[in-house]
A and B are shown apart, each in its own frame.
Chain A
Amino acid sequence: MSFKILTGDEAVAWGAIHAGITISTAYPGTPASEIQETIASSGTGTKYVWAVNEKVAYENALGASYANQRALISMKHIGLNVAADPFINSTFTGVNGGLVLAVGDDPSMYSSQNEQDSRFYAQFAKTFSMEPSDPQEAYEMTMEAFEISERLRLPVLLRLVTRLCYGESPVHLKENGKGKNELKLEKDVRRWVVVPSHARMLHKSLNEKQKVLEEISENSPFNSMVLKSKKRGIIASGIAYAHAMEHWDGETSVLKIGTYPLPMKMIRKFMDYCGEILVVEEGEPIIEKALAELSPKVHGKLDGTFPRQWEMTPDLVAKALRLPYSPPTPVENLPPRYPTFCPGCGYNFTFKALKKINPQVITGDIGCYSLAVFPPFEAMDTTVCMGASIGMALGLAYVGVKKPVAVIGDSTFFHAGLPAMVDAVHNNADILVLIMDNELVAMTGGQPTPASADEGKTPVTLEQVLTGLGVTFDVLNPYRPEEELLAKFKEMLEKPGPVVLISRSPCITEAKRRAK
């Protein structure tokens, strides 16, 4: 045993390495990007792939699992919406090599569009999920998740949250990890080809597996109970368990939940023992709902003891337990600080020019350029999800809005903009697509895009793709004088049909980082 100071993300990465993964796949997204970054810089030589999007990342891992290899996939919660299709069907096919999906939820939305709770996805897909309360547990659970995955032949979901991902503490690591699985192809079309006749049987067998999932949960060391006071009990899961224990008086009975499906036998025992019960969980009241069906003495988010939205904190636990809590009054009227483009970033100039052009409507997308919504630019009318800029601009054009401008980053374009771009050409839609090309995934720390010319990679350039689609396009250098930028925008907007303008300026923050 040795110990290292690790964040939750780093602990998951090391857990996967020590579980003998052959491959890690991911699409970057806060707060989960650092999982694969850790594997990349681990010095272990573990193969890793930044896939074009989460769906492809998931399918990569499933392919590796088919060949009996262990694979880790990591993404942010919203990424699982994109990967939901293969994820859900892979609980029908099942897996061969252990397959673990680490998802970083973002309660309170520090860097996200929503705060959806990934535990729902595990429920929805009828598979096993685990929720660590600190980096040590993240490390151990990751290793155990691979074991469970191979035992159940199901993908296992690790539900992480921002505070776990970016919280750091010492972790005891094993000296030696497990070796890699043998590479083998065992074909079984009845499992792996989900045509209706097979799928019907697969759903039956997935349902039959549920008993085993429940048994594993009942016996898991990650669920534990301290029976003390009969008057009051706390049931807590994941990082919320840490927040609850912060205020533990040493007397209240505590049930810690770390695995799903819920260990209902254990929960029933606990509820029979205790009087009033406070449920402390991060995200939606999933545990609480299961309990509220059993007893009316359950308190949590459903009865207003805790707010329904935003992250759980020790502050909220203190208030729920009616402990002394009186923080000083906040200082008011402070000058705001808006996140904005880095000094010298080409985006500053492109958006300044775009604002002057003042198109009727600008649909935006997910990336650094989303910050154009804030002052001084205020040049973005919508931002919904990866790729929506082009899809929504099409809808606007279809109903008669003149030349909507869709703003999308280079990586986002490859991730989810391409299908809509194909539609734009096919339907001869009258839109301008402005691709903000900084030649990498900047917002999440500078990961490569398909256009990157890294060693051993073939760059797939925007020009190649756009030429292949047969769409009119041009390249803009945002560092040229403003008159030139304005003239170029006007010229492109006057052309009929779909047109694309690539504003190209390599990310300067990444350039500075690499120079260090």
Chain B
Amino acid sequence: MKKIDVVIAGVGGQGNLLLAKLITLTALAEGWAVKRSEIKGLAQRGGSVLSQVRIGEKIWSPLIELGSADFLLGLEPVEALRNYQFLGPQGKAIVSSNFAPNPIKFSEEEILEKARSLNFLLIPALDLAKKAGSPQSANIVILGAVSHFLPFALSTYEKVLKENLKRLQEENLKAFALGREEIQKLA
């Protein structure tokens, strides 16, 4: 049975839930069955946020099993590593190399080294979003990156983005394109 399981890891304020929603809507528009779930309890207070999107012909559980995700999307490297257990043997981790602020001190280089050793595809999502003219759009950069691997038409993403993002449409479309371009250099 065909299925695509996507785990999205980040912290509050990074647009995790919106990214999950956009993937959900794109898959639905292409006629797939979808279930999405999220844990956002303390999201507003800088806590971890985890979304799960399950796409397939028939989806029962909203939850993705550990070791079975097809994609691990990270809006932040530490949170992506924290959820590494979700990734399946053939799964791909597409992760922003830009860190979210954390009052705890740690070596960013060690974290990135760890991510590279696990074959994470690292892209500077925040830097690219800034380049696109919208620093809030790092999530859309990641969407552009994963779109390279997902079986959905570019025109569907564009339609969903336009219908659901009322502000900064042009910047978001650019962020999407930059993400898609960047991942092709790595993949």
Contact = CB atoms under 8 A, between A and B. Distances in A.
Interface of A is mostly: loop
B103 A167 contact: no
B61 A245 contact: yes
B82 A331 contact: yes
Interface in B57-89: 59-63, 65-68, 78-79, 81-82, 84-87
Interface stretch (A115-123, A321-329, A488-496): A321-329
Nearest to A510: B44
B48 interface: yes
A334 B81 contact: yes
A169 B59 contact: yes
Interface residues of A, number: 42
Nearest to A371: B45
A170 interface: yes
Interface string A303-316: 00000000001110
B87 A166 contact: no
A340 interface: yes
Contacts of B35: 134, 167-169
Nearest to A376: B103
A342 B44 contact: yes
A334 B80 CA distance: 11
Contact of A509 (B44, B86, B118): B44
Nearest to B79: A337
B182 interface: no
A339 B40 CA distance: 11
Contacts of A313: 63, 65
A340 B104 contact: no
Given A166-B38, A335-B106, A326 B67 contact: yes
Contacts of A169: 33-36, 59, 62
A314 B36 contact: no
A387 B118 CA distance: 48
Given A315-B66, A318-B65, A327-B66, A166 B46 contact: no
A338 B101 CA distance: 12
Given A242-B60, A339-B46, A334 B82 contact: yes
A248 B60 CA distance: 10
A55 interface: no
Contacts of A330: 84-85
B37 interface: yes
A228 B48 CA distance: 43
Interface string A370-413: 01000010000000000000000000000000000000000000
28 contacts: A5-B25, A30-B41, A163-B63, A166-B39, A167-B37, A168-B35, A169-B35, A169-B36, A239-B61, A242-B62, A248-B60, A314-B61, A315-B65, A315-B66, A327-B68, A327-B85, A328-B85, A329-B85, A331-B81, A334-B78, A337-B47, A337-B78, A337-B104, A338-B103, A339-B46, A341-B45, A342-B46, A509-B44
Interface of B: 11, 24-25, 28, 33-42, 44-48, 59-63, 65-68, 78-79, 81-82, 84-87, 102-106, 111, 114, 118
Given A166-B40, A248-B60, A328-B87, 13 more contacts: A110-B41, A168-B36, A168-B62, A169-B36, A170-B34, A242-B62, A313-B63, A314-B65, A327-B68, A331-B84, A337-B47, A339-B45, A376-B103
Q: Which 4 A-B pairs have the closest CB atoms?
A: A327-B67, A327-B66, A339-B47, A339-B42
